[in-house]
Amino acid sequence: MSGVVTGDAVVLGLQPAKLPSRALALAIDLVVVWGAYLLISIALAIATASLDQAAVMAVSIATFLLVLVGAPIAVETLSHGRSLGKMACGLRVVRDDGGPIRFRHALVRGAMGVVEILMTFGVVACIASLVSARGRRIGDVFAGTLVVRERVPVAHAVLMPVAPPWLAGRFAELDLSGVPDELWLAIRQYLARMRQLDAEVSRSLAERLAGELVARTGAPAPVGVSAPAFLAAVVGERQARDARRAQAAAVGASGSVGPGHGAGPRPGVPGAPVRSAGPVSFPQPVVPSEASAAAPTPPPPPATGFAPPA
């Protein structure tokens, strides 16, 4: 487990994949990709038998790059970090903040994989994974990614509170480009485990994370908004932006999006928007109108830990 350790020794983190499971997933991927490469090479050798040696060499190099390098990059990009071997072993490649990877992450991993895996038969990748505390190979370090376990027991799943309704759209213009992935990961892990922490520890940790977020964005937190509510609202805004970008990419690739096929990541996947927690709610402040001014005031709802601003 990797991540933030709180004052009461609660570890907030992902579950990095172990070397045996990663090696098994890599072996499955190599068998598939090398099998496809050999079949395509044999077919091209028969088709280019009449060409000169320079043309045959050019075709061989292009086949190597497209099949052994380009194909894994395309598969990881389209599947958001799940190759055939990783699907079989229940693994997934995610960003350092737990979100789904994009093309640039898969490109760096694939480029480094030529040296780490193909040219050294995986020896360099195994050594790097053993030395790294989070089991990352060199490609993961340069790409800012991490291979994690995707299959976790349902009993250990945690629910993350959604942003308060009265803060919806409050941070639409906030610049989030300067926030590092490590800070996003710490905030997401805190929100997922906040109800398991001691109240004082939870408050101090939320204030520290909110202070770091304000320092990175350059915009102060709204007056009267609690630190956990502020963190939940900003994380919700970032997830909404990721969903809009994914939907725009899907529309640009296919021309249309079918009904019922959302562009956001799937539930249960690291980096996907987590289901909202039932017990945690954010009541919206209601301003009484003139017609209801004379009506008796109902008792306030039970406290949830996230009160709206006064």
- Find the mean pLDDT for residues 179-206: 83
pLDDT-derived band at 161 (thresholds 50, 70, 90) equals low
Q: What is the per-residue pLDDT for 241?
A: 85
State pLDDT tens for residues 265-298.
Answer: 444 444 444 444 444 444 444 444 444 444 455 5
How many CB atoms neighbour CB 256 within 10 A?
Answer: 6
Q: What is the CA radius of gyration of the chain?
A: 24
**Taking a C-beta distance cutoff of 8 angstroms, is the pair 268, 293 a contact?**
no
State pLDDT tens for residues 1-54.
Answer: 444 444 433 444 567 888 888 889 999 999 999 999 999 999 988 888 888 888
Both tokens of residue 281? 């709610």
Q: What is the per-residue pLDDT for 309?
A: 54
Q: How far apart are CA 176 and CA 87, in angstroms?
A: 32
Q: What is the per-residue pLDDT for 306?
A: 54
Lowest mean pLDDT among 62-76, 103-117, 272-286: 272-286
State pLDDT tens for residues 197-235.
Answer: 778 888 888 888 888 888 888 877 777 778 888 888 888
Q: What is the per-residue pLDDT for 98?
A: 76
Both tokens of residue 256? 């249309």
Both tokens of residue 100? 């789904």
Dihedral angle of Cα 237, 242, 243, 246, to the nearest 10 degrees: 160
pLDDT-derived band at 164 (thresholds 50, 70, 90) equals low
Task: Look at the alpha carbons of 19, 23, 26, 28 in this order and tell me if their dihedral is positive or negative.
Answer: negative
State pLDDT tens for residues 39-55.
Answer: 999 998 888 888 888 88
Q: How far apart are CA 265 and CA 242, in angstroms?
A: 9
Mapped onto helix, strand or coil, the DSSP state of residue 84 is helix
